[in-house]
Amino acid sequence: MTTRFGRFVGARSAAVAAMACVPLALAGCGGANSENAAATVAATTTATTATTTTTTTAAQTSTACSFGGATTAPGDTALSRMTVTGVRTGQQDCFDRVVIDLAGDASTKPGYQARYVAQVRQDGSGKPVVLRGGAFLTLVVGAPAYDAAGQPTYLPANTAEVANVTGYTSLRQVAWAGSFEGMTTLGIGVREQLPFKVSIVEEAGKTRLVLDVAHNAT
C-alpha cells in the first residue's frame, strides 16, 4: 500500500539521487551519455591540436620558400666560343631547375635571354613550338649546339621532351626550339606565370646556364 508519505519519500529520494549525479558526471554517473560527452571533448581537443600543427607547418614552409625572382630578365645576345653539350632538369624545395651545360673557351661568357611569351618559336624557321602548361618561357643562350665544323655537340633524342619533368611542381615541359646562328633556344612550359631567376654559373671548372622557376607566385 502506497501512502502520500511514501510517494513523497520516493520523489525526494529520486531528486537527491539526480543532484548527486551532477558532480559525478565525469566519473561515469550518467552511463552511456557521459561516455559520449567525454568522447566529444577528446575529439574536439584532438582536432584543435591538429589544426594548430597544420597552421604552424604551413607558416614555416612559406617562410622557408622565400624565392624572389622576376617574370622578366634583361636581354643579352652576346655570343661566345662555348658550345651546348647537354640539357638537364632537377627539383629543389622551392623551385624547379633547368640546366644547360656548356663547354669550350670560357673567357667570354655567353649572353642569355629568358622571358614569357605567347608562343615559343623555333630558331630559323619561326614555326611554333607546342608546349603544355599555362605559361610559356623562351630561354636563349649565346652558344650553339654545334662546333666550328657544323657537327652537333648536343642533339636531344626527343626534341619535344628534352628532359622528363613529370611530377614537377612548376615545369610542365622542356622542348628543343633549335640552334641557329650561334644561339640555342629552349621552349619551357610552366604551370602558370611564375617568378624565375637565370644566371651563368661556373663551378669546378664547368660552366652552365641555370634557370630556376619558383614553385609559388610569391
Longest alpha-carbon distance in the chain: 123
Residues 6 or more apart whose CB falls under 8 angstroms from that of 190 comprise 133, 134, 135, 136, 137, 170, 171, 172, 213
pLDDT by residue (tens digit) across 29-56? 444 444 444 444 444 444 434 333 333 3
Whole-structure pTM over 0.85, yes or no? no
Which residues of the chain have a pLDDT value below 50? Answer: 1-63
Number of residues in the chain: 218
